[in-house]
Amino acid sequence: MLKSNKFIKIVIILGLALGLSFVGVKYIKKPVKSLSENGVTKEEKVKRGDITIGFEGDGEAEIPVVNLDFDISGKLKELYVQEGEQITEGQLLARLDDTEYEKKLKTAQINYKKALANLAQKEENKRLSLISEKQKLDELKSKLDQIEAEYLPMVEIKEVYSKQAIDMRKASYDSAKSAYETQLERYDILANSDKDIQLEKANVEASKLSLEMAEDDFNSTILKSPMEGRILNISYKPGETISSIKESGQATADTTHFMVISDSGKVEVVVPVSEIDLSKVEVDQSVEVEFEAFEGQIFTGKVIYIDSLPKIDNSGLVTFDVRIELDSGIDKIKSGMTCSVSFIIRQRKNVIYISNKAVSMLDNNQVVKVKDENNDIQIRKIKTGLTDGKFVEVIKGLDVGETIIIEEKKVE
């Protein structure tokens, strides 16, 4: 009897176990259409791509340009390049008619040589005058010494000489001494005075400056490229008169600068960033740029400069210009093209990702519902990483191409 009861209990337990197993299998492999009777389900494929956290702004492309102008006015004589041409640093671009400037240069050279000659003549004249005056001074000194040698002994022994003889010798001595002192003063004045020479030196400096200016003007009749780049615009043709007056501001197709060239290896984008978002921007920060003219194509770059001064529009909005340099694809971009810019704060590239809505919690685990090849549903545990608020990185548990189920509540 005991054995019979025991057998009955075992059968009941096995029956319950089989029933529970049957129920469990039905739950895991339940058809999709009956998963959410009170909601809407949709299927999505597991994808591979980038997850990015950041913020966006609108910008405009600027190709760094150099405005080239002649420093002088004149008639354009030769033009050696054309618009669209690639040029190298130091390449000869254009030449003005240099006839008048060559004449001015020759005149300045003659005047400079004349000033140098005048200076040399003045210095030579002074040297010769000093020699002559020194010779006179030496002669007077010798004569004074001779008379003094005769006069002083007579004074010491007056009783030997008559008063008339002493007076005559004294007159000769005073005259010789006065002549010597006058010549000495004349010589000192000549030796220490260089007023005429300084004036000639000033004339030399003025002539030299005029010569340098004439040389600069003459050399300015040719225009060379200061950098490697591409010619964007040429405003004059040979035979036209070019003014040296230059304008400032952004270069456009109707610019009056003689020539505009671009830095062929650089394209920049300027984005006004609000003061609220500025704290999220830093130099060398990575960005992604999409131009309206190239929709769907992403250009990469980095922040190279953040303006220190704000711009305030009529509504009071405060922004700061952020300048970005693109890494590649710059040959397609034209100055003035508009674009949207994503400032990257965090990013995971080439990762598996799914919609955030597909992830739910079960027993403190992240899970998703996966549809297999038999159209059955599995609840699968996964591990997630970075999320941008819309999509989430899947570190473990899913493969690219698998189908996941997203359940959303019906909108009443």
Q: How many residues does the chain have?
A: 412
Q: Is residue 12 part of a domain?
A: no
Where a domain ends, among 239, 262, 285? 262
Q: Is residue 211 part of a domain?
A: yes
Q: 74 is written with which tokens?
A: 């004149």
Question: Are residues 406 and 383 both part of a single domain?
Answer: yes
Question: Are residues 286 and 321 both part of a single domain?
Answer: yes
Q: Is residue 357 part of a domain?
A: yes
Question: Are residues 300 and 330 both part of a single domain?
Answer: yes
Q: Is residue 8 part of a domain?
A: no
Give the up-direction half-sphere exposure of residue 117: CA atoms within 13 A in the CB hemisphere. Answer: 6
Question: Are residues 283 and 350 both part of a single domain?
Answer: yes
pLDDT at 258 over 60: yes
Structural domain containing residue 257 = 65-96+222-262
Question: Are residues 247 and 272 both part of a single domain?
Answer: no
pLDDT at 1 over 80: no
pLDDT band at 28 (very low <50, low <70, confident <90, very high): very low
Query: Which H or E run contains 306?
Result: strand 299-306
- Phi/psi for 309 (5° steps) reads -100, 135
- Identify whether the C-beta of residue 278 lies closer than 8 Å to the C-beta of residue 320: yes
Q: 48 is written with which tokens?
A: 């591979």
Q: Is residue 85 part of a domain?
A: yes
What was the pLDDT predicted at 244? 67
Mean pLDDT of 195-213: 94
Q: Is residue 23 part of a domain?
A: no
pLDDT digits (tens, 9 = 90+) for 305-361: 999 999 998 998 999 999 999 988 777 888 889 999 999 999 899 999 999 999 999
Query: Which H or E run contains 53?
Result: strand 47-62
Question: Are residues 71 and 60 both part of a single domain?
Answer: no
341 by Cβ neighbours in 10 Å (0-12 / 13-18 / 19+) ranks as: buried
Q: How many domains does the chain have?
A: 3
Question: Are residues 392 and 283 both part of a single domain?
Answer: yes
Query: Which H or E run contains 214?
Result: helix 195-219
Return the CATH number at 71. 2.40.50.100
pLDDT digits (tens, 9 = 90+) for 61-107: 988 888 999 999 999 999 999 998 989 999 999 999 999 999 999 99
Return the CATH number at 45. 2.40.30.170
Where a domain ends, among 189, 218, 247? 218
Question: Are residues 315 and 390 both part of a single domain?
Answer: yes
- Phi/psi for 395 (5° steps) reads -85, -35
